[in-house]
Chain A
Amino acid sequence: MYKIIKKERLTEDKDRFYIKAPLIAEKARAGQFVVIRINEEGERIPLTIADYDRKNGIISIVSMRVGKTTTLLSGLKQGDSIQDVVGPLGNASEIKNFGKVICIGGGVGIATMFPITRELKRAGNYIISIIGARSRDLLILKEEMKNVSDELYICSDDGSQGYHGFVSGFLKEYLDKDLSGRTDKEISIARVVAIGPAQMMAAVAEVTRPYGIKTIVSLNSIMVDGTGMCGACRVEVGGKTKFVCVDGPEFDAHQVNFDLLLSRQKIYCNDEGVCFDLYKHKCKLPYNN
């Protein structure tokens, strides 16, 4: 059992949990994830390690309420425990001094982006962060991101804060401006790292492709064990089948088959609805929850 030391409600649908897991905290690096299971009947779901405190043996995760498992998780309080937490899994982010790096986070993906941004900043990069959410009330980790960025831009789908539109739209304008301002016609951005919903990452990949900027995405596919044993998380990268859990989670965005990723993410959509409805029925939760 893994004890929840502290819980913070970030927005109405997102929570941050600080979990006692000393061995995981000791080894965790930016970009890695854990697989959790809430209880005996629970499924195993991957969640990115949002941060780690080696000294106190604590990791943090950020979860958005979507289906049954994340709703159950969201119902846990400080002092409660999670049945299973296993990790750190996957490969860590490549952290080097690349020069100017654009760090893009969308929705709950900002939580994943944060430790990577911080490490890139520590490595000496000039950080331009672009974070976005559907609406200003749903935006998370704004202050944290600001503290590790040289420039921070905010986007909202509904225009309630910052740029009115998607992060990919803002990115396009930013890159165009950067390029038109340069006499050598060489883009000054060395790398883009984008983490968020698959559609967002696909859109970012299309924006950066013509500029030839190396673009890294962290893929969020369905997993079971998270150790390369089952192949549930397989994706196509550069025409080859890869396992997100052991070969990733980060890949070259320009090589990723996002259509396949999106399609495979929907395998259990109906089933998840059935399971969640049953749960809501049992708990007499309102159906519009």
Chain B
Amino acid sequence: MCKGHSHSHSHDHGVATQEVAMEENFMQANDDLAKENRSILENHGITAFDFMGAIGSGKTTMIGKITERLKDRYGIAILNGDATTVDDFDDSALEGAQLLQISTKGACHLDADMVARALREEIDLHQTDLMFIENVGNLVCPADFPLGSKKRVVVVSVSEGPYTVRKHTEMFMGAEIAVINKMEIADVMGIDVDALINDIHTVNPNTKVVTTSCRSGEGVDDLIELLLERSAEKVNA
């Protein structure tokens, strides 16, 4: 809605034109829904994480490994956003967790409305303690669409090359946690992991960084500690 607008009149080429000054945020609808999502989640005591990162960075595997390790202690819901496919998960390993595929039908990011519908209609909020929201594989667009999660986690794999942080600074600016994944192939890929970590901290000194090899599970416990804020200092040291 336009608020505090001012009106003026002028004549361009003999046609009377009106001008209205306003302050209308065109991302407001998403921002409002994200706030609503956040309060619904908080009211149900749910901690939600938005996992963002490129296609193939390991988001799905990572959420799977975390869930395997936590599902006996916590009620877990996974919202898996995908542009097209709807079968990203191997259900058997995740038995006990609520799984929901959200197809964005080609769109490049999840938005707060898609998550709002899932919270209202699909997820049993009373059975949920932790929620992992996997965004569409994309290192640009999700940055502009908060979903209402408590923390935003960006996953980058060493296979994306040495410049991935520099090329996507907005994404890292908005992330509380950054995970560098596929550490087991860093040497083969010729990636200087310290330089990547340095890049992340150049963009945002507050972002906590953890390194993982999700396929073997290495580092996943450190990531869990960071997500659950049990010993963030130790991991970030």
Partners in one complex: no
Using a CB–CB distance below 8 Å, which chain A residues touch chain B? none
